[in-house]
Amino acid sequence: MFLMIQIFSGFLLATHYESSLELAFSSVLTLDRDVSWGWLFRSVHANGASWFFILLYLHIFRGLWFSSFSQPFVWLTGFMIYVVSMATAFMGYVLPWGQMSFWGATVITNLLSAIPVVGQTLVIWVWGGFSVANPTLLRFFSVHFILPFVIFVMVVAHLLFLHVNGSSNPLGLDPQSGKVYFYPYFFLKDLLGMMVVMVLFAELLVLSPDLFMDPDNFTEANPMVTPVHIQPE
């Protein structure tokens, strides 16, 4: 559900975004102030990402609790969904080009330099130069746009592997006699869960849309300034 929300809201945001250092931050401001309902679409996309990961971690915890790792193909496809989701979120965090966007892009990509022999070359390749610049932002935007569709394909594969042997059976019931009909039981259970989550999500959007955002990212990126809260004492 939230994956589709992210794809739809992200597509609308992409129609107004400018992937250049000079225009990225101002294009986000224009979206917030001048585009009809632009602030809402941006809030849906930003907070939807946070909710996506909240639900993802709950799903992982459920898998650990019920020993779903005993099904290797289901577990590995789920793990890959998690890894690709983190990469997608990181690249999306860079795009508004606030102060924390620049800091995150520089620090996280520099971790590649820890790889022996090829590390520094990889960093230069990712940046498209010797520092975070226009090529970096353009690459991040391009990859961030396409990865949600990759995640969608992986989710389909995840479900296909799940339906080969069925879900985990922690109670050890007979697979046939212990089955519960999807409709109306699981249908109503899932519908209630979606309604509760959407009510909480809507409440967040209306009452506190900036709750999960970093205040420093409301300032345009300045390579010469380190964010105050991470400066050494």
Closest CA to 150 of 94, 96, 80, 90: 80
Q: What pLDDT does 112 receive? A: 92
190 is catalytic: yes
216 is catalytic: no
* Residue 129 DSSP label: S
Position 170 pLDDT exceeds 70: no
Q: What is the maximal distance between C-alpha atoms in the chain?
A: 67
163 is catalytic: yes
Q: Tens of pLDDT along 6-37? A: 999 999 999 999 988 999 999 999 999 999 99
CA–CA distance, 14 with 28 (Å, rounded to integer): 10
218 burial via Cβ count (<10 Å: 0-12, 13-18, 19+)? middle
Section 149-164 average pLDDT: 93
Reading the block at residue 22, the tokens are: 């000079």
Q: What pLDDT does 199 receive? A: 96
Mark 43-70 as b/e (b = at least 16 C-beta within 10 Å).
bbbbbbbbbbbeebeeeeeebeeeebee
Q: Which is the catalytic residue, given 67, 189, 208, 210?
A: 189
Instruction: Read off the pTM.
Output: 0.89
Q: What pLDDT does 136 receive? A: 94
CATH code for the structural domain at 2-168: 1.20.810.10
- High-pLDDT (> 70) share of the chain, %: 94
Q: Which is the catalytic residue, given 22, 190, 203, 210?
A: 190
Q: Which is the catalytic residue, given 67, 167, 203, 210?
A: 167
Reading the block at residue 21, the tokens are: 């250092």
| C-alpha Rg value of the chain to the nearest Å | 21
Section 171-175 average pLDDT: 63
Backbone angles phi, psi at 98, to 5 degrees: -85, -175
* Residue 128 DSSP label: T
189 is catalytic: yes
